């Protein structure tokens, strides 16, 4: 008998990115009001960077929910954008950052990608 544990974390703990930072890792901490979360991220020049996600909205593509669209920001305000997380958390995409923010706008995946998540849908979601 096997048991599957479902994480309430906004992302998987580890991803490989197509460009911008190579390995991406998250460590999630305290839950915040309205479903937000605090945590830390490692990605390229950002090492143990305190972050928060908030304003979770359904991510829709071709009329279907494919994941969650999170506001994603450094707690010190050094970057602010959106993080699209596929429904099964195997693909994430960073988009819509402010003009001079240094956070890479890239796509990151786990290995193997859950076949129920669509990279094409995440890439084309607005």
Rg (alpha carbons) of the chain, rounded to whole number: 14
Selection from 8, 20, 13, 117 nearest residue 65 by Cα: 117
User: What tokens appear for 60 in the block?
Assistant: 């829709």
Asked whether the beta carbons of 118 and 96 are under 8 A apart, the reply is no
Answer yes or no: are the C-beta atoms of 122 and 114 closer than 8 Å: no
Domains in the chain: boundaries? 14-124
Torsion on CA atoms 57, 61, 66, 71, rounded to nearest 10: -30
The pLDDT of residue 1 is 45
Give the per-residue pLDDT at 121: 96
Could you tell me the pTM of the whole model?
A: 0.92
Q: What is the pLDDT of residues 59-87, one digit of tens each?
A: 999 999 999 999 999 999 999 999 999 99
Task: Work out the pLDDT band at 6, boundaries 50, 70, 90.
Answer: low
């Amino acid at each position: 008998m096997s048991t599957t544990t479902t994480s309430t974390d906004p992302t998987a703990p580890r991803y490989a990115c197509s460009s911008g930072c190579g390995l991406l890792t998250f460590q999630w901490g305290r839950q915040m009001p309205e479903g937000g979360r605090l945590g830390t991220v490692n990605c390229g020049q950002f090492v143990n960077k305190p972050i928060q996600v908030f304003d979770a909205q359904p991510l829709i593509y071709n009329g279907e929910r494919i994941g969650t669209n999170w506001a994603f920001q450094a707690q010190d305000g050094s970057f602010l954008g959106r993080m699209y997380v596929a429904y099964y958390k195997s693909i994430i995409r960073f988009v819509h950052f402010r003009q001079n923010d240094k956070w890479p706008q890239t796509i990151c995946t786990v290995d193997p990608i859950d076949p129920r998540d669509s990279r094409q849908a995440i890439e084309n979601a607005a």
